[in-house]
A = this chain, B = another copy of it.
């Protein structure tokens, strides 16, 4: 019954209730849920609490309360959250077009996806390979379902909560997931699920909303996010103007109060430009290995297979103009802002074909009495030679630069020449060179010598002085533990908290997330995946040691973080408290990081938390 009916039925109680409601709203300075009873004309206030709300409502209510002067703009900022903002940035289904949901579950991993229902991993893989979009439906998932989860657009389960295997793994992959939709009965043998009176068979299309936790029958039409459109273009739109206004105001206030800069991880001019529109103040991580893929892989292969320095030099020379062009585009998109370019990081054999596949190809050709492709034989030989049991713990990062002649020089030359070209075009390029996977100051010193020599050489040859800050990733425990020494040679530190988490815990994300994280969350071994939210006691302690000892050795040391944690709300609060200068995250997380960096700056006042 609406409250207005009460006014008619019992005007006295109605007025009394309105007075209490005003008192409560002023007391809590927030939207309240209230329970009351009226017994023989007497009003009993039973209980009250600050009301739960959707992300939309949180932004709108905060803006409204601030407008009414009930809370300050800082309090308004404290009452919204980055997680909420992130949810508002996904496209949603146009629910007016699809009617009621078929089922409700837990919104485990946000986003909206449409696809044909399948009931096992193999079928998901088969259909996806044929170009079909599929939704994997299981009672619950296990590590055996991993290939199917990779192949599917969305995952839907009838059992399990936020820490279930499906939820944890889908979130790790950024894949849409609704879990624990308990009204659904999954029957994999009959390849169907039932919910209420409806039966959905393999191949039928459903729409899954991982932000709302809803499932619709058929292909629901998607509606772009108004918030996303605003962030992309600055346009407020019509229908969603109040929400967009509220978001804009929260972000503006956050930008005013935050101390942390926010940069983005971007490897292409397009990503850099988008990040800038989203408010990024530079590129904190430009991964050059992504520029070695696609058609260029062939050149990288030639570099790896080179039999001598001359062959290798030729391959590197062919890569140089391509790398230079990449950097020019990114420096242009980020003109006037820092762009931190990381030298090649992953093991070289990542650019070669899979060992087992190659071996099978060569062996089956022989078994059929054919001659295997000579190129396959040569490649297999190289792959066997370079095979590592644990590539994550092998020849990569600065180690590669120190043992493969010419690699660092080529990359640095590409950066330096890009800087020169941008300067000549009237730009203001701010390239920084970052050395990955450093363990000791000696590694950095040796790499730096080569970097500085090439920068000087290009400057001399072109007549344009090239000045790039040179710094290092802090992504190995030893680097953190000897940060005071490393700071002697580093103008900046950037924490690679993903790799640091892997080595501090001794587990690699790809191998363990699907294998046992769900079990670990269920058993309470950790409350959130340390790859999602930074582990303060372990990884965080090393961050604090490195910040303190790095700054003691070099007071003007610039310190940031460039892992995924840079866009995680709770982690952003930690990085603020740890005294970092900036966080860098994926372009889409930039607004989230801006908001949370603002909230973190207010945290001293005690009225904000990251959730």
Interface positions of A (Cβ within 8 A of B): 143-144, 355-356, 359-360, 363-368, 385, 388-395, 399, 402-403, 437, 439-440, 442-443, 446, 475-478, 481-482, 485, 499, 502-508, 510-512, 515-516, 519-520, 523-526, 535, 537-539, 541-542
Contacts and interface: CB of A to CB of B under 8 A. Distances in A.
Contacts of A477: 477, 503-506, 538, 542
Given A442-B524, A481-B541, A482-B537, 11 more contacts: A143-B385, A355-B356, A389-B392, A390-B391, A393-B511, A394-B512, A395-B515, A403-B519, A439-B538, A477-B506, A499-B506
A389 B599 CA distance: 39
A439 B402 contact: no
Specify which of A359, A393, A525 lies most central, judged by the most chain B CB atoms within 10 Å of its CB.
Answer: A393
Contact of A393 (B437, B512, B525, B535): B512
Contacts of A481: 504, 537-538, 541-542
Contact of A526 (B440, B485, B503): B440
Given A395-B512, A402-B519, A403-B516, A446 B505 contact: no
30 contacts: A143-B385, A144-B385, A356-B359, A360-B360, A363-B363, A364-B366, A364-B367, A367-B367, A388-B511, A389-B391, A393-B393, A393-B507, A393-B508, A394-B508, A394-B515, A395-B515, A399-B512, A402-B519, A402-B520, A442-B525, A442-B526, A446-B525, A476-B505, A476-B506, A477-B505, A478-B506, A478-B537, A481-B504, A481-B537, A481-B538
Contacts of A523: 402, 442, 446
Contacts of A366: 364
Q: Assembly of this chain: how many copies? A: 2
A443 B525 CA distance: 6
* A391, A503, A526 pick with most chain B CB within 10 angstroms: A503
Contacts of A511: 388-391, 393-395
Contacts of A402: 516, 519-520, 523, 525
A356 B354 CA distance: 10
A480 B443 CA distance: 25
A478 B541 CA distance: 10
Which A-B residue pairs are the 8 nearest by beta carbons?
A478-B538, A367-B367, A393-B508, A364-B367, A394-B511, A476-B506, A390-B390, A360-B363
